Amino acid sequence: MKKSKKVFRSRISVLLIGCILAIFIPVSVSVWMITPRINESIYILGASLLFVIFIFSGMRYIISENRLYAKIWMIPFGSVKIADIASVKRSYNPISSPAASLKRLHLCFANRRFWLISPVREQEFIEELKSVNPDIMVNVPEKKGLWRIWDWDI
């Protein structure tokens, strides 16, 4: 029996990257003002930015048989049974989650837990979930408009 496995990478939001830069740049400038050694400040800022890029570029959601896994590169973030997913809806909740975007899917489970994730190919992702569990209620409107550029929310 062949195992089926689908991998979906996380959407990366320009707005979220801008928020992170808005935090890192003033901190690095203030460090440079306290200790005016520019080399150390540049190294700290560069290492911080590389770490954020490394984390953002490695977020993946894997659907394998009847489970959904969230990973950041090779590090598992968690897994759930797809049969436990009760509903999927749109969310812009900024709380910490394995998502590199603020445009997210809110996965509600039967035991009142939830995950916030942001797969790039949302419709294909939802179809894969529904192929395993057809009882999932989906409420994800696709909005089109002036402020939607390349499927990014500004």
User: What number of residues does the chain have?
Assistant: 154
High-pLDDT (> 70) share of the chain, %: 81
1 falls in which pLDDT band (50, 70, 90)? Answer: very low
pLDDT digits (tens, 9 = 90+) for 89-148: 988 887 777 788 888 899 999 888 898 998 988 889 999 999 999 999 998 876 665 555
Angle between helices 14-34 and 38-57 in degrees, nearest 10: 160
150: amino acid identity, one letter: W
Q: What is the pLDDT of residues 25-38, one digit of tens each?
A: 777 666 666 666 66
pTM of the model: 0.75
Tell me the three state secondary structure of residue 64.
Answer: strand
